[in-house]
C-alpha cells in the first residue's frame, strides 16, 4: 500500500510541476529518473498517462482521471491522518502556504513564526509570489490573497479588512495641487502597481450613488508594491495603494491622502483553500490563527 501511495504522490507532483524537468528540480533528482519512474508507473497500470514533448507535457484522458482520483484520495488520506493526530493533541506534517510578496514580508512571515512556536512539530513552507496560477494553487494548502479573486475554484475565507487609498507625498502636492475630483487625476502624474492581472490604470471611485472610472496616465509602473510606495515617497506622483502598506506613511505624514470623500474598491485580505473533501486539522488551525491574529482590528488600523 505504501508503494501505491508513493506512486500517487509522485504523479500528482509531476502533473502540478508542468514539466518533467521542473518536477525533477522540485524533487532534487535527475530528469531521467523522473521519466523512468513515470514509464514504470504507466507499465504497471497498463495505461498511457502523459503526452510527452521536449519542454512540457500534457495528460491523456486516462491521465486526467488518474490525477483527479489521486488528488481526491490523497486529500482524504491526509485529512484522516491529520484528524487522528489532532485528537491526541498533535499537529504534525507539512503546511504549504503562499502569500503576496509585500504582505508576506511584513505580516505573514511573522504570523507563521508565531504559529510554529505554538506547534513546533509542524513543518511550514512559505512561498511568496504575487502571481499564482490555477495549477500552482493546487500545490498549496492555503493561499493568502489580497484584492480581486480570479480563480473561482478556490474557497475564500475572510482574514482582515483592507481599503485602498489614493495618496502622494507633501512635496508632490506642493508642486501640483491635490485633485478635488477623480476626473482631475487625468492631469496628474500617477504611479501604477501591476498586480492580480487587473487593469491597473483604470481607477474606480464611488461616492454615494455616483460612480466614476478614470483612466490615469502612469508615468511610472512596477509589479512591486514597495517600489511603488518608495516612488510616491520621493514625490514622483499619486498612487492607489492598500492601507496595510501605507498606513504608517500616512500616520507619519510622509504621505497624504487625497480624494478622501471618494471610496475605492476594497482589497480585503482573504485565505484561499482548494475545494477538496475537507480541510486538514493543520489548515483549519492555521486559518483560525490568522483570523484571530487580525481581529478585532488589524495592525494597520490600530
Domain assignments of the chain as residue spans, ordered by start: 2-81, 91-160+268-301, 164-258
Residue 22 has pLDDT above 90, yes or no: no
Please tell me which residue, 215 or 93, carries the higher pLDDT value. 215
Residue 185 to residues 36, 85, 173, 213, Cα–Cα distance (Å): 59, 57, 13, 11
Parallel, antiparallel, or unpaired: how do β-strands 190-193 and 238-242 relate? parallel
Amino acid 161: pLDDT: 95
Amino acid 133: pLDDT: 67
Fold match flag (91-160+268-301 vs 164-258) = yes
Q: Radius of gyration of the chain from Cα atoms?
A: 23
Q: Quick one: average pLDDT of 129-136?
A: 71
Amino acid 30: pLDDT: 87
CATH architecture for residues 164-258: 3-Layer(aba) Sandwich (3.40)
Task: For residue 132, name the pLDDT band (cuts at 50, 70, 90).
Answer: confident
Q: What's the pLDDT tens digit per position in 145-195?
A: 998 776 667 889 999 999 999 999 999 999 999 999 999 998 999 999 987
Residue 2 has pLDDT above 60, yes or no: no
Amino acid 270: pLDDT: 94
**Max CA distance (Å), the chain:** 74
- Whether 95 and 286 have beta carbons less than 8 Å apart is answered as yes
- Whether 265 and 249 have beta carbons less than 8 Å apart is answered as no
How far, in Å, CA of 217 to CA of 199, rounded? 12
Q: Can you spell out the DSSP letters for 163-226? A: -EEEEE-HHHHHHSPPPSSGGGGGGS-EEEE--TT--TTEEEEEETTEEEEEE--EEEEES-HH
Residue 55 has pLDDT above 90, yes or no: no
Burial 146-184 (b: 16+ CB within 10 A, else e): bbeeeeeebeeeebbbbbbbbbbbeebbeeeebbeebee
Residue 275 has pLDDT above 60, yes or no: yes
For domain 91-160+268-301, the question of CATH label 3.30.470.20 is answered with no
| Whole-structure pTM value | 0.72
For domain 2-81, the question of CATH label 1.10.10.10 is answered with yes
Q: Of 69-73, 124-128, 277-281, which has the strongest mean pLDDT?
A: 124-128
Residue 252 has pLDDT above 60, yes or no: yes
How far, in Å, CA of 160 to CA of 155, rounded? 16
Amino acid 1: pLDDT: 43
- Whether 103 and 246 have beta carbons less than 8 Å apart is answered as no
Amino acid at each position: 500500500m505504501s508503494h501505491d501511495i508513493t506512486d500517487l504522490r509522485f504523479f500528482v507532483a509531476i502533473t502540478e510541476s508542468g514539466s518533467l524537468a521542473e518536477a525533477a528540480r522540485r524533487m532534487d533528482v535527475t530528469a531521467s529518473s523522473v521519466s523512468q519512474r513515470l514509464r514504470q508507473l504507466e507499465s504497471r497500470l497498463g495505461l498511457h498517462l502523459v503526452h510527452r514533448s521536449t519542454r512540457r507535457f500534457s495528460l491523456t484522458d486516462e491521465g486526467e482521471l488518474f490525477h483527479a482520483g489521486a488528488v481526491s484520495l490523497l486529500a482524504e488520506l491526509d485529512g484522516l491522518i491529520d484528524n487522528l493526530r489532532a485528537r491526541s493533541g498533535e499537529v504534525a506534517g507539512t503546511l504549504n502556504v503562499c502569500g503576496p510578496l509585500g504582505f508576506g514580508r511584513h505580516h505573514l512571515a511573522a504570523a507563521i513564526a508565531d504559529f510554529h512556536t505554538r506547534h513546533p512539530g509542524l513543518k511550514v513552507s512559505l512561498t511568496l509570489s504575487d502571481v499564482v496560477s490555477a495549477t500552482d494553487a493546487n500545490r498549496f494548502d492555503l493561499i493568502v490573497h489580497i484584492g480581486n479573486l480570479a480563480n473561482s475554484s478556490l474557497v475564500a475565507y475572510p482574514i482582515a479588512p483592507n481599503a485602498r487609498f489614493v495618496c502622494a507625498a507633501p512635496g508632490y502636492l506642493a508642486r501640483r495641487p491635490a485633485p478635488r475630483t477623480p476626473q482631475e487625476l487625468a492631469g496628474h502624474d500617477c504611479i501604477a502597481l501591476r498586480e492580480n492581472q487587473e487593469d491597473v490604470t483604470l481607477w474606480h471611485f464611488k461616492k454615494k450613488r455616483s460612480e466614476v472610472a478614470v483612466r490615469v496616465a502612469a508615468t511610472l509602473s512596477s509589479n512591486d508594491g514597495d517600489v511603488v510606495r518608495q516612488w510616491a515617497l520621493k514625490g514622483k506622483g499619486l498612487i492607489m495603494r492598500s492601507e496595510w502598506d501605507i498606513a504608517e506613511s500616512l500616520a507619519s505624514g510622509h504621505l497624504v491622502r487625497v480624494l478622501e470623500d471618494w471610496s475605492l474598491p476594497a482589497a480585503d485580505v482573504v485565505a484561499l483553500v482548494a475545494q477538496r473533501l475537507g480541510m486538514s486539522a493543520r489548515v483549519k488551525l492555521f486559518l483560525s490563527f490568522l483570523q484571530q491574529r487580525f481581529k478585532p482590528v488589524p495592525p494597520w488600523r490600530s
